[in-house]
Structure 1
Amino acid sequence: MAGADFDCDVLIAGGGPTGVTLAVLLAKRGVSVIVAEKEAAIYPLPRAAHIDHEGMRILQEAGVAEAVMQTARRANRYDFRNAKGEVLLRFEGAGQIGPGGWPAANMIHQPSVEAELHKALAAQPKAQLHHRWELKSFTDDGAGVTARVSTPEGDRTVRARFLVGADGARSPVREACGIHFEDLNFEEPWLVVDVLVDDFSKLPTDNLQICNPARPTTCVLMGEGRHRWEFMILPGETAEQVSDDAFIEALLEPWNVKSAVRLERKAVYTFRARIAAQWRKGRVLLAGDAAHQTPPFAGQGMCSGLRDAANLAWKLAAVTNGEADDALLDSYQPERAPNLRATIDMAIMMGKTVCITSPWQAWLRDLKFKLARKLGKLPDGPPAYPPISAGRILAGSAGAGSYFPQPVAPDGTRLDAVMGLGHWLISRAELDKPVLAPFAKPLAAWLDKHQADAVLVRPDRYVFGTGTAANLAGKWSG
């Protein structure tokens, strides 16, 4: 808890989805938090378009998942098609329930998601969100962080135990720490076009990557009555040229949607793959786009920031509540970075499949996919991301570091809703207890698969380890 010398336990620079989710998760654990957001309000136009089942589970903990699902949509499938419309690669099952207990892929309207998160944060007495507060400088003296913040009422000083930079790709917090980005060698300029939909019958129901060397194109569903196209900007084209309404109208003409949609937003982005060399420096930590940027082809940008928030929240809470030494925070990057790198690798692979502008190279790509399809070697979905291999896990025990699923009871109740925020110790001997009985079958199946008597699940729902209940309890607290 923040003491007399501190204004809050954690100061978060940046009030986007990562920062506000982290703030909600911290406040629910009794941590006092201040979010400093330089903008006057939520950015009103859509940016991120997708949240996976794991991201939805994190939003469930924040208390907003049901509301988010009210405006989310699901595509039938995710297709990579060539210029002729032939399917090169197809991922299905977007509407199936994923391990996180929610549909595997959910197309969302980011401002609506952020609005729900803001409501959740406002309901937390230990949290404050201040718009038009801009972090100008800070000093880490080893015992805490003293920040100078510009506010509408003038500059003020905020003293916190920790500072989290969730302040975007151009993060002033990261820059002030002198932390450099590792460039993962993917940089492509694209035009993003978002539309309001008046007639959904004229729009695709699949998410599409059109691997046409003449103009690589993305076409995806979004939430709240919207749809998105992304068009690769070709050599010689300028941002001003492609942003012209007449140019955009010509790009959309082959889709035959003129009477069905209205332009809401157009923006030129350079899709990049980068990761910060250091995610923690003393009492300063980075999260979300401040720590990493991934091309959008795998739809994992916002999801990655939510995973950062879930990993960091329980650790910051344990440290600030006196339950753990701050060395626990050293596990943040070793746990998250391998998952993040695999996410970026997947996005780059997808991007390189799409972003071929040479007809000859596109022909070779198409041939390789056709051969792989005939041989049955194409995946039917994105690969599973690697488990946690180093950090706060019981290394060597079966399932350690893996993602623990959230079973859904016959009446629709999800496991997390009855088990609560903390870590869980689940043993075979307890599966007949009333709280676990509705989930006994899938839990027993998980224990069988790992030949375990018990499992200890961390607060971020990754597995600490398996073994006997007594041994797990001792190792966790030891």
Structure 2
Amino acid sequence: MTEARRDYDVLIAGGGPTGITLALLLGQAGVSVLVVEKEAAIYPLPRAAHIDHETMRVFQQVGVADRLMATCRHTDRYDFLNAKGKVLMRFDGASAIGRGGWPAANMIHQPSVEAALRDRLSNFPNVELRCATALIGYRPMADAVEADLSSAIGPGTIRARFLVGADGARSPVREAAGIEFDNLGFEEPWLVVDAIVTDPSRLPTANLQICDPERPTTCVLMGEGRHRWEFMIKPGEDPAEVSSDASVARMLAPWNVEGAVTIERKAVYTFRARVARRWRSGNVLLAGDAAHQTPPFAGQGLCSGIRDAANLSWKLAAVIAGSASQALLDSYQPEREPNARATIAMAIMMGRTVCATSRWSAFVRDTKFRLARALRLTPSGPPAYPPISTGTILAATHGAGSYFPQPCATADPALKLDDVLGPGPWLIAREAAPAADRLVATGLDAAGVAPFRAAITAWLDSHAADAVLVRPDRYVFGTGRPGDLAAAWQGIIGQA
């Protein structure tokens, strides 16, 4: 049996968090989307353990943030300890509210995240998810992509304006496009052990990196009553031996958690740092792990994929609607790649701090950190990742390319700016903003904006601006006079 061909605006290969989030954002914009996922159901065991405030803000836009927040766990500290338990480096404030309007660090249970995202698909009749369906090949055409699918009901052919490969580190879409990786020089095998917690009083309350040359170890909270340990597999060790039940029991013994946890799974992963050289080939684009892979130490793997979806979705929607040319898509990689590389560089720095396996290297490292702490030169948290410096921004204006914060109402912290202004680009002016097509235009005196007036005024004052135009992904297009901003935006988005 062969299925009759159907047409969609966007075909997404991969039904993980990046692919489903992209589908939801496109669905909100009225784009017709098909997501194909080779697996029959959500992978039931944890993978990613962390999402940040920016990611939670995107999940707020698609309507799942409150549901996810109820399952998250939080801690204020991320400590790097040496073999003697002394603090080398401490990141504080992980539970504080970040600029995205949500806690800076949120420890998650990935299957719960994926279930929440998939449940939202029913709100969009223009978005379809097909599980147990594999993309087995595609053919680029003049203005579309024709893809061959395989499923239990038989082969089928799909034509879509665009194909997005959100199909993981081994992405068949990337490989078929002949896109190679830049290898950033980090490749380490680690054993990941996930546990269900039955007695939380016996578990650490901070996220920890144990920088012990005998066995570099990670110990972090997760969502839904779970905890994770990661143990480095040292050169010359047999991964099968290290991951045996007896070996895991020995490595967990110093944590004194016998009877407090039940092992849910153990798996060997190779942590890699790589970035695809091209994220677009004609009407084929890459997102998430298909475009970039990071070691887990900064907790930015899933977050980076969601940032890809937020950046790419509004650009695809504008092109498909005919209000922008395909040249808009050329800004996707230049905008996202520097941020992705910065998060990977941070993860590599953390990893190199943790992964010293010689006593001499560990001694030198500990001495440097001890001196830096005495001089108060160690960072108190991860550095700010770089803003967008080139792409769809008015680069000459103050604040262009920076991340626009989401203030919460003073009287009601549950009320957030995005809930009032909604999706799409915003033009926010000190005085009444001029009406503009495809823009949410408002002044600070508007009733809905009143609870956030002080915070937005302070932001405008800090950038010496009369108005700000905020893109749909909540990065700043530019600042200046409201009429000029609206005209500049329309010049890019208002015509094909």
Structures share a fold, TM > 0.5?
yes
Q: Which of the residues 469, 473, 476 maps onto 1:456?
A: 469
TM alignment of 1:65-84, pairs within 5 A: 65-84=65-84
Q: Which residue of 1 aligns with 2:233?
A: 233
Q: Which of the residues 405, 414, 417 maps onto 2:416?
A: 414
* Alignment of 1:183 onto 2:183: yes
**Alpha-carbon shift at residue 313 of structure 1 (Å):** 0.5
**Mapped partners of 1:458, 1:143: distance in 2:** 26
Q: Which residue of 2 aligns with 1:364?
A: 364
- Note the aligned Cα RMSD (angstroms): 1.0
Range 320-329 or range 35-44, more displaced = 320-329
**Mapped partners of 1:53, 1:235: distance in 2:** 36
- For 1:27, what is the secondary structure of its paired residue? helix
The residue type equivalent to 1:415 in the other structure is L
**Mapped partners of 2:256, 2:451: distance in 1:** 49
Is residue 187–residue 272 contact of structure 2 (8 Å, CA) maintained in 1? yes
* Alignment of 1:432 onto 2:445: yes
Q: Which residue of 1 aligns with 2:27?
A: 27
> CA 1:399–1:459 in structure 2 vs 1: closer, same or farther (change >3 Å)?
same
- For 2:188, what is the secondary structure of its paired residue? strand
**Mapped partners of 1:431, 1:318: distance in 2:** 27
**Alpha-carbon shift at residue 6 of structure 1 (Å):** 5.8
The residue type equivalent to 2:197 in the other structure is V
**Mapped partners of 1:30, 1:235: distance in 2:** 52
- For 1:71, what is the secondary structure of its paired residue? coil
**Alpha-carbon shift at residue 76 of structure 1 (Å):** 2.7
Is residue 197–residue 227 contact of structure 1 (8 Å, CA) maintained in 2? yes
Is residue 195–residue 227 contact of structure 1 (8 Å, CA) maintained in 2? yes
* Alignment of 1:328 onto 2:328: yes
The residue type equivalent to 2:416 in the other structure is R
- For 2:445, what is the secondary structure of its paired residue? coil
The residue type equivalent to 2:458 in the other structure is A
Range 306-315 or range 409-418, more displaced = 409-418
**Mapped partners of 1:42, 1:142: distance in 2:** 35
Q: Which residue of 2 aligns with 1:346?
A: 346
Q: Which residue of 1 aligns with 2:437?
A: none
**Mapped partners of 1:6, 1:291: distance in 2:** 27
Is residue 186–residue 348 contact of structure 2 (8 Å, CA) maintained in 1? yes
**Mapped partners of 1:245, 1:75: distance in 2:** 29
The residue type equivalent to 2:294 in the other structure is T
Is residue 142–residue 282 contact of structure 1 (8 Å, CA) maintained in 2? no
Is residue 92–residue 381 contact of structure 1 (8 Å, CA) maintained in 2? yes
**Mapped partners of 1:6, 1:309: distance in 2:** 24
TM alignment of 1:196-211, pairs within 5 A: 196-211=196-211
**Mapped partners of 2:156, 2:120: distance in 1:** 26
Is residue 72–residue 109 contact of structure 2 (8 Å, CA) maintained in 1? yes
**Alpha-carbon shift at residue 122 of structure 1 (Å):** 2.3
Q: Which of the residues 441, 456, 464 maps onto 2:454?
A: 441
The residue type equivalent to 2:364 in the other structure is L
- For 1:45, what is the secondary structure of its paired residue? coil
**Mapped partners of 1:37, 1:126: distance in 2:** 17
The residue type equivalent to 1:270 in the other structure is T
**Alpha-carbon shift at residue 213 of structure 1 (Å):** 0.4
| TM-score normalised according to structure 1 size | 0.99
**Alpha-carbon shift at residue 142 of structure 1 (Å):** 2.1
* Alignment of 1:159 onto 2:159: yes
**Mapped partners of 2:94, 2:215: distance in 1:** 26
Identity value in percent: 67
TM alignment of 1:11-410, pairs within 5 A: 11-409=11-409, 410=411
Cα deviation digits, residues 401-428 of structure 1 (max 9, x gap): 0000000012121100111111000011
**Mapped partners of 1:354, 1:237: distance in 2:** 18
Cα deviation digits, residues 136-188 of structure 1 (max 9, x gap): 00011121000000011111000100000000000000000000000000000
**Alpha-carbon shift at residue 445 of structure 1 (Å):** 0.2
Is residue 297–residue 347 contact of structure 1 (8 Å, CA) maintained in 2? yes
**Mapped partners of 1:142, 1:71: distance in 2:** 46
The structure 1 segments of at least 4 consecutive aligned residues displaced by more than 2 Å after TM superposition are none
**Mapped partners of 1:448, 1:8: distance in 2:** 45
**Mapped partners of 2:76, 2:145: distance in 1:** 48
The residue type equivalent to 1:152 in the other structure is A
**Alpha-carbon shift at residue 326 of structure 1 (Å):** 1.0
**Alpha-carbon shift at residue 62 of structure 1 (Å):** 1.2
**Mapped partners of 2:236, 2:42: distance in 1:** 35
Cα deviation digits, residues 281-328 of structure 1 (max 9, x gap): 000000000000000000000000000000001001111111111110
**Alpha-carbon shift at residue 5 of structure 1 (Å):** 9.0
The residue type equivalent to 2:155 in the other structure is D
The residue type equivalent to 1:243 in the other structure is S
- For 1:142, what is the secondary structure of its paired residue? coil
- For 2:398, what is the secondary structure of its paired residue? coil
**Mapped partners of 1:65, 1:5: distance in 2:** 36
